[in-house]
Amino acid sequence: MRKKSKDYIITLTKYGFKVEAWDKYGKYISVSTKTRQEASDFIMSWWDKSEENKADTERTHKAMKEMIKIDKEYGICQGNRDGLD
């Protein structure tokens, strides 16, 4: 289930609460907490970190693109069926 803005679902389980949360960019996370207050605190913290999480994701994507570019330049992972050297 893909969300496009801040949202959350808290589900009571036999071990506590399952927390599913989406930040304002649609990034999803699922955690378990022991109390409803911990669940609420986690959600607020996740939402507060939206900008930081987005920046981390963008840095990761940029690094992956650069690695792919380097692989192509040096012919790494070409000619092997499984892509491994």
List pLDDT tens digits, range 26-75: 999 999 999 999 999 999 999 999 999 999 999 999 999 999 899 888 87
Q: What is the pLDDT of residue 84?
A: 58
Boundaries of domain holding 49: 7-74
Instruction: Assess if residue 49 is contained within a domain.
Output: yes
Own/partner long-range contacts of 13-18 (Cβ < 8 Å, ≥24 apart): none
Instruction: Assess if residue 60 is contained within a domain.
Output: yes
- The whole-model pTM stands at 0.73
72: phi then psi, degrees, rounded to nearest 5:
-65, -40
Q: What is the pLDDT of residue 2?
A: 56
Q: How many residues does the chain have?
A: 85
Report d(CA 53, CA 39) in Å as an integer: 19
Instruction: Assess if residue 62 is contained within a domain.
Output: yes
Please enumerate in sequence order all residues whose Cβ is within 8 A of that of 84, keeping only pairs 6 or more positions apart, or say none: 77
For the chain, how many structural domains are there in total?
Answer: 1
Instruction: Assess if residue 84 is contained within a domain.
Output: no
| Residue 4's pLDDT band (cuts 50, 70, 90) | low
C-alpha count within 13 angstroms, C-beta hemisphere, residue 14: 0
Instruction: Assess if residue 51 is contained within a domain.
Output: yes
